Structure 1
């Protein structure tokens, strides 16, 4: 991908595709411009290559992943089709509760796994920021403005997805952003 792109999902069926734990793990593995074959992705996710091929094709149908030309023409590598995925407000109302719970539950598992791995490393040089701000009253327009600010801040580092071109001393980081309405 040569430019940053956000994929906005508008169909509840596309969102259902993301609710599967293996598919969310696959998105983690493909994040940051990583390119993997089904066999490589299967090994990282702990499933068979044929099962991984099934998941990749399901995600391809909704434009979430895409095939990449291989150097030798024999391999069939895959990558994320966009740098970020957004679920449109309109489609989120059509998501069944079990799909929403699965999607969010798997997201929370990934965040928990990331924090647990960091704690277990117990590296005094690790820098982590965890921030929670709750109870701020924002209009929908202000919430969108905040999302745009965060996206622009992250876009400053778009050239950092390739580990081969990353500056010395840099480390792969997981960055999660939630902006959720509360009752």
Structure 2
């Protein structure tokens, strides 16, 4: 990971600035679709450009987004996400009540949008699938029996795969190139009894 890709953990000010459903949606659209203007975002969201302009300025004030250099005019500015990753803290007992409330808003809206995007893909009719893209996606759920140390190791292996893909395909353009969402989920399940040493692996995979 290079210096400009270092993980940025949101401070309380940035977290509170993002803690608005419309700002989370704007942030998510910039991530999914690349640079946008207040007008283009307004069209996507069904809002006025005045409203999106206000929220863009708020996000910009906390360096959550930035203006695209050399593009646009004083009347029509283009906005993008800075390069690199951000770490959005989840609600924690160590936070102040205000920060915990902000974290709850941000995490809830991000996961709601994530699920909405996934279900749109799952329910997409074949007629909307671009040529050559049918059956290219993957939804897989596998249950494992591991220790916390093994889970940390597995997380590191998955992140290595992700980092390698980011480096390999960064900035790729062309008529056949589409933006895709690559998701990795790894979490422990609530305890519901002892784990049997000889428990069978349960795997559900859907392409």
Provide TM-score, normalisation by structure 2: 0.66
**TM-align CA RMSD:** 3.3
The question of whether the paired residues in 1 share the 8 Å contact of 2:9 and 2:89 is answered with yes
The question of whether the paired residues in 2 share the 8 Å contact of 1:30 and 1:79 is answered with yes
Please name the residue that 1:106 is paired with: 109
1:2-151 aligned within 5 A: 5-31=5-31, 34-71=34-71, 73-74=73-74, 75-87=76-88, 93-94=94-95, 96-123=99-126, 125-132=134-141, 136-139=146-149, 142=153, 145-146=156-157, 148-151=159-162
- Cα 1:92–1:111 change in 2 (3 A) is farther
Q: Which runs of 5+ in 2 are unaligned?
A: 191-207
Relative contact order higher in (CA < 8 Å, ≥ 6 apart): 1
Please name the residue that 1:154 is paired with: 165
- Cα 1:171–1:80 change in 2 (3 A) is same
2:8 alignment partner, SS class: strand
User: For residues 177 and 93 of structure 1, what CA distance do their matches in structure 2 show?
Assistant: 27
Larger radius of gyration: 2
> How many matched pairs?
175
Provide TM-score, normalisation by structure 1: 0.73
Please name the residue that 2:179 is paired with: 172
Please name the residue that 2:198 is paired with: none
2:95 alignment partner, SS class: coil
